Amino acid sequence: MGWIEEYIEYHKNLTDAPEEYAEVLALSLLGHAIGRDSIHPLKPFPIRHNIYVILLGEAGKSRKSTSINIAKEIAESYIYPSRFSPEALMDEFSAILRKAFDRRSYVSGTLELLSEVYDCPEELKRRTRSGGLVTARNLYVSLVACTTSEGFKSSIEPEALKQGFLTRCIIIEPKKKKSRPRDYLNSEIYKQKMKLKNGLRFLKNKVIEFRFEKEAHELYNEYHDKLERKYRKKVEGGFLSRYQDYMIKFADLYQLSDEIYNSQFSQNSQVNKLTILVQEDNIIKSYKLIDRLLKNIMRICEFCESSKLVLKVKTVLEKHGKCDRSKLLRYSHLTARELDIALETLLQSGEVVKDKEFYKLKRKI
C-alpha cells in the first residue's frame, strides 16, 4: 500500500466524506511536501507539483471542511494570506469568487495574482496600495478551498472558464451520498496518522527529478492525444492544457507514493538528490483521474453556457413583460435551440411560468 492509499484509508476511518476528496488532498500534500526544486524536466518549462484544489459539495453533508482539517493535521503547517481568514478560504470561497470578478472590489486582482503564483515564478513584484514595492522570490504555492456546488456555479462568470485562475484548479464535485453513523476513534488510527506524517517528514529537503520510463513516456503521449481528441471541443482550452499538465504531476506523485514506503527508497534518507522513474501503471491511474475530472469540467462549462442564455431571456422578459416564442427569439437574438435550453432551465427552476403560448417571469412575493 502506497502513501496515497494509506491516506485514503486513514481519511475513510475518520469521516464519511467522499473518497475523491481524500485522493486529491493526498496528491496535494505530497506535491507541496517535495517543494519547488523537485521537477519533471519536460519542454518548454519543467513541471512542478503544486496543486490548486476546489472541493464542491453540499453544505454540512459532504464534509468538505472535515476533509481539509484532516489534511491540515497531516501536513502540520499551513499559511494563509493576511487578507483572508482560514474560514474564508475554506468555507466562503464562492464569496471570494464573486468579489474577485467584481472590478470594484478590493480583491479584484486576487485571481490574477493566484494565476501568476501558480506558475512558480523565480521573482514576482507587486506594488502595494500604500505605494511600496514588494518582491517575492522562488514562489511555490498550493491552494485548497471549498464551497457549495450551488455557490460556486452561481459565483463564476462564463468568461472565467476560458483562461486564468479557474483553469489552474482541480475542481472536485462528487456525487451526493448518504451520511453514515460515526464510530469511536482507536489506537490504529493514531498509528496511521503518525505513519503518514513520518512519510511527509522523510521528503523534507529532498530534491527529486522525475522522468518517465520509455514505455511510460510513449503512453503519456498517447493519453495526451486522446484527451485532445476527446475534450478539445467540449471544454474550454485553458482547462484542457492545464489538466494535461496535471496528468504529469499526478503520475509523478502516484509514483512517489509507491516509493515512500519502499525499503530501497527509504535507505536513501541521507541523500538529498533523488531520481524517480515513473512507470506505466501510474500514467494509467493519472489518466483515469484526469478523464473523470474533465467530464466534470465539461458539465460545469455546459452549465455556465446555459446560464448566459438564461440571462438573455430573463433580460428580455424584464424589459418587455410576457412574450411569446417568436418575440423572445427576435429580442434575445438566440437560436431556436438556445432558446429551448434557456426556457427549459427557467421553467424547471420556477423563475418563468408559461401561460398558454406566452412566457413571463414569476412574480416574487
> According to the model, what pLDDT value does residue 268 have?
64
When comparing pLDDT for 102 and 326, which is higher? 326
> According to the model, what pLDDT value does residue 91 have?
46
> What does the pLDDT look like over 57-110, one tens digit per residue?
888 788 898 999 999 999 866 655 444 443 334 445 656 666 555 555 555 567
> What does the pLDDT look like over 203-250, one tens digit per residue?
988 999 999 999 999 999 999 999 999 998 888 768 999 999 999 999
Q: Are 292 and 352 contained in the same domain?
A: no
309 located within any domain: no
> According to the model, what pLDDT value does residue 86 have?
39
> What does the pLDDT look like over 255-266, one tens digit per residue?
999 999 876 666
Q: Are 339 and 248 contained in the same domain?
A: no
CA distance 72 to 303: 32
Final residue before a domain boundary, out of 279, 304, 329:
304
70 located within any domain: yes
Q: Are 325 and 300 contained in the same domain?
A: no
> What does the pLDDT look like over 172-208, one tens digit per residue?
998 877 777 888 888 899 999 999 999 998 898 899 9
When comparing pLDDT for 33 and 362, which is higher? 33
- The answer to whether the predicted template modeling score (pTM) of the entire model surpasses 0.85 is no
> According to the model, what pLDDT value does residue 348 have?
84
Q: Are 262 and 149 contained in the same domain?
A: yes
Q: Kindly tell me the burial class for residue 73, based on how many C-beta atoms sit within 10 Å of its own C-beta (0-12, 13-18, 19 or more).
A: exposed
Look at residue 361 and give its three-state secondary structure: strand
Percent with pLDDT over 90 in the chain: 49
Q: Are 20 and 102 contained in the same domain?
A: yes
Q: Are 198 and 343 contained in the same domain?
A: no
In sequence order, the 6+-apart residues with CB closer than 8 A to the CB of 235 are: 294, 297, 298, 301
179 located within any domain: no
Number of domains forming the structure of the chain: 2
Q: Are 74 and 162 contained in the same domain?
A: yes
**Given pLDDT bands bounded at 50, 70 and 90, which one contains residue 333?**
confident
| Mean of pLDDT over the chain | 85
> What does the pLDDT look like over 101-117, one tens digit per residue?
555 555 556 778 888 99
Q: Are 157 and 179 in contact (CB under 8 A)?
A: no
Domain of 8, in residue numbers:
3-174+192-304
